[in-house]
Chains A and B, each alone.
Chain A
């Protein structure tokens, strides 16, 4: 398959490069590489719902926060770290399945609002249920032993593996009946139903897929940062950032979200870190630019297509008419 092959052509070197960062560079770069993996995972998850299925889902932060809190509470209860991540993933998936059953009947704006308010509701619950979640003070987690360099490496590889699993899931879904069904729903839900796509089951499957990786990533980042609080875990900015990354690369493509996350981290580090007071305004400007000048994302832009053409055809002269 062409798009898979051309995607892998840059994705494999990128993965190798990310995996090598602890040996060829400093802690700062390792941290940024970890962010690339984390954001790529989140954007890939969102892509199942927002890209393939075309539903304006903004509940990413709800899943991240739920995973973070589930992982933190389990870890504080003495559950080993990795097991806590796995259970947190399960909890998030289960939550998404129940939630999806309820809110996936909504469409358009109503779905978008419903998905945002889930973030708000969970944040309010986390902030007010002090005895269980620590309330507004947040929760401290046991700090990962072994020094910052070792911890940085462990979390980089954890997120890298998670990203690879998310990519694998994307490729499998993209080429399966489910992916076909989701693309049908994106084009016309009623028609998809008519031709025999199990619309409800497909949508719930996409919603759960869009949740579980966020849940794991949330639990992992909670262990990584060792502290979570309601506004950080259920962040409204994050719930917007993730779709923006996916759209930046190309929503509904297999590798677009990874590319978008990479570009976003580069922008974040080169521009946002210099204008700390203007972070949200810059995110807003990125959105405006994206929507007016890059409506299909970077991977669908003409520039990238020309570039791909140049690489894929051995002799550029041949492809010219």
Chain B
């Protein structure tokens, strides 16, 4: 029984991080109707920036939460404004190939500049024990921060002017344009927010998992699965999907061995896509 509580806790800690990984990806997919293949690489870029700032400049990784996300926000805004906006209305094949190509460039440059050796920040904040359940401090911290970031995004979407504009574009692009919303700018901001969340995630990843370019595809895969599980373009959906995936992986890892956890997630996604070809929750307005 105790094992199960530990497994479930691990699943939830992982799941919160997955939710944070997927929320920006889901936003871009839902609002822009674009699959951002760069998402995994953007997360790792955030992770590397954090790691090297910690290694060379001795900056506390958590402080980087204030520096990395704005940088990636800028990068995301530029990418969208200069490149992706030009093809945003073109067929899926074109947009997907473009982000795939941009991902190749970013991935390659990171490999050359940072090298793919797995690196990790050790924070040494001990662990918390609670009724025979061990919670490593760094993971617990990452989980809390991931949930907090997701919550902040949700709040921004609900209350701010920009957030409501994004939601409006998500619901009906043409009507939003007629109401005086500048679509291109909203697209750029949406992409920028997504990149910013990826950067924040990268910071959290850097303190909990080794940072390496080898896992960009893996992270992207997680974002896909979470979107399929939880539905597109909604913060609560990404949260539910993320936690669900975390639990599924940690339970199936417990039953069939951890090496099959990724396979289970992918097979699950394919089966879901086959039975519900447009996603589990279908399309709904972004809230």
Contact = CB atoms under 8 A, between A and B. Distances in A.
Interface in A229-286: 236-237, 240, 243-244, 247, 251, 277-281, 283-286
B217 A236 contact: yes
A121 B277 contact: no
A285 B221 CA distance: 24
Given A50-B93, A105-B274, A110-B279, A291 B112 contact: no
Contact of A287 (B91, B101, B267, B279): B101
A139 interface: no
Given A110-B278, A110-B279, A291-B87, A117 B269 contact: yes
B262 A103 contact: no
Given A110-B278, A128-B259, A280 B107 contact: yes
Contacts, number: 120
Interface string A90-130: 00000000000011011111101110011011001100100
B74 interface: no
A288 B102 contact: yes
Contact of A292 (B86, B100, B278): B86
A54 interface: yes
B157 to A, nearest CB: 22
Interface string B243-287: 000000000000000011011001101100110011100000000
29 contacts: A56-B93, A103-B273, A105-B277, A106-B277, A108-B92, A109-B35, A109-B96, A110-B273, A110-B279, A112-B35, A117-B224, A117-B266, A121-B266, A237-B104, A240-B100, A277-B108, A280-B105, A280-B107, A281-B108, A281-B109, A283-B104, A285-B101, A287-B98, A287-B101, A287-B104, A288-B105, A291-B97, A295-B90, A295-B94
Contact of A102 (B100, B111, B267, B274): B274
Contacts of A280: 104-105, 107-108
B54 interface: no
Main secondary structure of the interface of A (DSSP, over half): helix
Contacts of A283: 101, 104
B83 interface: yes
B29 interface: yes
A120 B100 CA distance: 16
B273 A106 contact: yes
For the complex of A and B, the 4 pairs showing the least CB-CB separation, nearest first, are A287-B101, A284-B105, A284-B104, A281-B108
B116 to A, nearest CB: 12
Contact of A112 (B83, B92, B108, B277): B92
A112 B35 CA distance: 10
Given A56-B96, A287-B101, 4 more contacts: A113-B224, A121-B267, A284-B102, A291-B101
Interface in A281-312: 281, 283-288, 291-292, 295
Given A109-B29, A278-B108, A128 B94 contact: no
A288 B267 contact: no
B29 A281 contact: no
B277 A110 contact: yes
Given A56-B92, A280-B108, A288 B270 contact: no
Interface residues of B, number: 42
A247 B91 CA distance: 13
A295 B278 CA distance: 28
A258 B37 CA distance: 27
Interface in B221-255: 221, 224, 228
B98 A291 contact: yes
A66 to B, nearest CB: 16
B263 A112 contact: no
A118 B156 CA distance: 37
Contacts of A112: 35, 92-93, 96
A288 B277 contact: no
A102 B102 CA distance: 30
Contacts of B259: 128
Contacts of A103: 270, 273-274
Contacts of B228: 110, 113
Contacts of B274: 102-103, 105-106
A213 B129 CA distance: 57
Contacts of B97: 240, 243-244, 247, 287, 291
B277 A107 contact: yes
Contacts of A120: 217, 221, 266
A121 B92 contact: no
Contacts of A128: 259-260, 263
Nearest to A277: B112
B239 to A, nearest CB: 20
B279 to A, nearest CB: 7
A107 B96 CA distance: 14
A114 B108 contact: no
A288 B221 contact: no
Contact of A54 (B93, B102, B107): B93
Interface in A13-51: 50
B277 A109 contact: no
A163 B97 CA distance: 25
A279 B112 CA distance: 11
A287 B90 CA distance: 15
A34 B87 CA distance: 35
A238 to B, nearest CB: 12
A240 B259 CA distance: 27
A98 to B, nearest CB: 12
Contacts of A124: 262-263, 266
